Structure 1
Amino acid sequence: MRNAEVARQLGVPPGTVSYWLHLDRSRRGECPGRRPPPPCPRCDDTPLDEAAYAYLLGLYLGDGHIIQHSRHRVPSLMITCSEKWPGLIDEAERAMRAVFPQNRTCRVRKTGALNVKVYSKHLWCLFPQHGEGRKHERHIALEPWQQAIVDRYPWGFIRGLIHSDGCRTTNWTTRIVAGERKRYEYPRYFFTNKSDDIRRLLTDTLDKVGVEWRVTRRGNDPYNVSVARREAVALMDRFIGPKL
């Protein structure tokens, strides 16, 4: 039956019938010149670079967000990175390419920062923590399959969290030695995030790798996780180190 006849019987414009047919062909991959969408590790059971994913998951929970503008059919994942750390920007983009090997990545400049960005229809599948509102205003928990990856690659996950909302810094204090005040400096790691759930994901993972930590307060709010003991800092330095 011709589209015009279908439109008359259904009482809709002929262009609507043509659009419905186009959508149907597109779903079956029959549109000429259109490639099928890249496969998804969750939907299609294709291989996933789990080490890269653990790192990217940490970045996403800290400084990442998923958006879908009305003018785009495909959502995008953006990781916001400070321009002070070009090495971190490169590492974030490498992780995106490893997790989404058939999707293009790009960098979008902001004032004092860069958004490392990738488009994919399967972002919801790989990052089910996405939802309306700010992360610290809603519950954040890992799916069992995500927790299994974090258990296999805990340092990648910790590295992503520290690279997003953490830092390695040098603190100092003074002590009286033989009647003379001396200054001592020591390195420590900080992670600052308003979400109780995200801080707990970090501290649970730190416990699993044997890193001692404690909570320090920003004013009255326990937003900081601190790693300051010498042995714990040395262990973090082996796998994390300062941002580059």
Structure 2
Amino acid sequence: MHSPDRRRQAETLLASGLSLSACARLSGVARSTLRTWRDTSPTPRGLECPRCSDAPLVPEVYAALLGYYLGDGCVSTARRCFALRISCDIAYPEIIVDVRRLLETTHPSAATHLVRAPGCVVVQKAWKHWPCLLPQHGPGPKHSRPIVLEDWQRTILESHPAPFLRGLFHSDGSRVSNRVRRMVAGRMKYYVYPRWQFTNYSDDIRELCCWALDLVDVPWRQSNRHHISVSTRAGVARLDELIGLKQ
């Protein structure tokens, strides 16, 4: 007779898409028992997909997660499931914490893994329903294929553009100090001012960034083919307020 905690652990492993043999090795429960639980038990709370059932989807959490995914995320195929992986610069530990919180809020019943890589930490979680929530996934780099929002996604972002911008700028953006020099009254003077810059090779993702900036009345300009800049003093202050600094 297995304890309720052991059964919950085993059901979580099963729901993550692992094979019966793998779940048996990890949980210490016989394959025949796992098969019975899998075929007769209802889906444990927290494993339901908001797109496939009436499970709740926190819109501001989803908006930020979508931004991080479009910036530095990918959905990979694993055996019987999918893995969402978001790469985070190791220099910004609070962003790593933010991404982990977003994944755990969206899918609370499965383990979140932090994988060290050169210069970064990859925050990842397995779930068979990631393609339901992130229909923009596909083979190859995101800039090599169309990135088009579905109507339900656009509705969420229209109501919550700030979290979406946080995900975009905290993954593929930077806040830098511009140094310029100008001749004033016959003397060269130097000025330093902050600027936010978003860099992405996908035309569609850059357009989504500009669309979201327009929703929150932050002026922007395209400084070159792959870069969107927020340079005015008021615009930088407004974006600082909406998304916070990268930390």
In the other structure, the counterpart of 1:240 is: 243
% identical aligned pairs = 44
How does the TM-score come out when normalised to structure 1? 0.83
* Residue pair 1:214, 1:225 contacting (<8 A) in 2 also: yes
CA contact (8 A) 1:167 1:242 kept: no
Q: How many residues align?
A: 214
Match of 1:62 among 53, 60, 71: 71
Q: Which residue of 2 aligns with 1:126?
A: 133
Whether 1:73 aligns to 2:80 is yes
Partners of 2:235 and 2:122 lie apart in 1 by 32
Partner of 1:12: none
Cross-structure match for 1:169: 176
Unaligned 5+ segments in structure 2 are 1-30
RMSD: 2.0
Offset of residue 35 of structure 1: 6.9
Post-superposition offset of 1:28: 8.9
Structure 2 counterpart of 1:15 = none
Alignment of 1:196-215 (within 5 A): 196-215=203-222
| Per-residue deviation, 1:36 | 3.1
1:147–1:27 distance in 2 versus 1, CA, 3 Å: farther
- Whether 2:61 is the aligned partner of 1:52: answer yes
SS of 2:204's partner is helix
Q: Deviations over 1:103-128 (max 9, x none)?
A: 22110111111110111111010000
Larger Rg computed on CA atoms: 1
Aligned to 1:231: 234
Residue 148 (1) aligns with residue 188 (2) = no
- Give, as a single letter, the amino acid of the residue that structure 1 aligns with 2:165: I
* Structure 1 consecutive aligned stretches of length 4 or more whose deviation exceeds 6 Å: none
- State the AA in 2 paired with 1:223: H
| Residue range with higher mean Cα deviation, 34-43 or 73-82 | 34-43
Match of 1:7 in 2: none
Change (3 A) 1:65 1:27: farther
Partner of 1:43: 52
1:190 aligns with 2:193: no
Cα distance in structure 2, aligned partners of 1:168 and 1:35: 47
Deviation at 1:26, TM superposition (A): 5.6
In structure 1, C-alpha distance between the alignment counterparts of 2:70 and 2:95, rounded to whole Å = 16
Question: 1:117 maps to what in 2?
Answer: 124
CA distance in 1, matches of 2:169, 2:129: 26
Q: Which residue identity is paired with 1:187?
A: P
Q: State whether residues 168 and 241 of structure 1, in contact with CA within 8 Å, keep that contact through their aligned partners in structure 2.
A: no
1:35-61 per-residue CA deviation (whole Å, 9 max, x = no partner) reads 736111000121111111100100000
Q: Which amino acid aligns with 2:89?
A: S
Per-residue deviation at 1:100? 1.1
Q: Secondary structure at the match of 2:39?
A: coil
Q: Distance in 2 between matches of 1:30 and 1:199?
A: 45
Structure 1 residue ranges without an equivalent (≥5): 1-21
Partner SS for 1:75 = strand
TM-score, length of structure 2 as denominator length: 0.82
Paired residue type of 1:174: R
Structure 2 counterpart of 1:19: none
